């Protein structure tokens, strides 16, 4: 059985789902690409993982937490799982480009380079916002692009982290 709860954040209420005591989803209302959850959901805001999730999110938004430490269970294709694993390696306050993620995947996939657009699709389908930090991925010229939770939220999160953006490409 999956468990759910709503969590208040400075960016609005988020929906959290657990499966077997691990975070399956953490999404903003109306977020693009939200998965359709099948089966019965139990409202369980006092579950220990939800309590810890709320504590860590509160510390993150207060600027006291740089790295999340929660059991995660995102569901996706092998390619998406590889992208989401790389996202978790982006340090707090840093950004990377879609192209640089594609380059890292080339190493993992024995020379097979995915298109930056394919990487962007996988980033956009991230089911665990903030904790799997897809907001730290920017366009090649440093622009804020493609955040399923909305660019205003992406901008807020990067400002919260005092994130370093890549230099703009000079024309």
Query: Any idea which residues carry the catalytic annotation?
Result: 134
Instruction: Give the integer Cα–Cα distance in Å for 143 and 154.
Output: 11
**Which two tokens mark 27?**
């999404």
Instruction: Give the integer Cα–Cα distance in Å for 154 and 133.
Output: 10
Instruction: Give the integer Cα–Cα distance in Å for 23 and 109.
Output: 27
Q: If you ran DSSP here, which 8-state letter would residue 127 be given?
A: S
Q: What count of Cα atoms within 13 Å lies in the side-chain half-sphere of residue 103? A: 6
Instruction: Give the integer Cα–Cα distance in Å for 53 and 58.
Output: 8
C-beta of residue 119 within 8 angstroms of C-beta of residue 101: yes
List C-alpha distances in Å: 140 to 10, 16, 28, 116.
Answer: 29, 31, 26, 10
**Which two tokens mark 84?**
């989401």
């Amino acid at each position: 059985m999956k468990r759910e709860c709503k969590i208040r954040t400075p960016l609005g209420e988020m929906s959290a789902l657990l499966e077997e005591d691990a975070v399956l989803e953490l999404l903003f209302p109306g977020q693009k690409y939200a998965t359709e959850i099948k089966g019965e959901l139990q409202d369980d805001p006092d579950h220990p993982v939800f309590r810890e999730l709320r504590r860590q999110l509160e510390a993150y938004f207060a600027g006291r937490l740089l790295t999340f430490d929660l059991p995660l269970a995102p569901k996706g294709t092998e390619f998406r799982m590889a992208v989401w694993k790389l996202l978790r390696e982006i340090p707090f306050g840093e950004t990377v480009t879609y192209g640089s993620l594609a380059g890292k995947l080339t190493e993992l996939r024995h020379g097979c380079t995915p298109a930056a657009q394919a990487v962007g699709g996988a980033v956009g389908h991230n089911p665990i916002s903030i904790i799997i930090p897809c907001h730290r991925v920017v366009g090649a010229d440093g622009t804020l692009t493609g955040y399923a939770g909305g660019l205003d939220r992406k901008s807020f999160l990067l400002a919260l982290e005092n994130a370093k953006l890549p230099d703009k490409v000079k024309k």
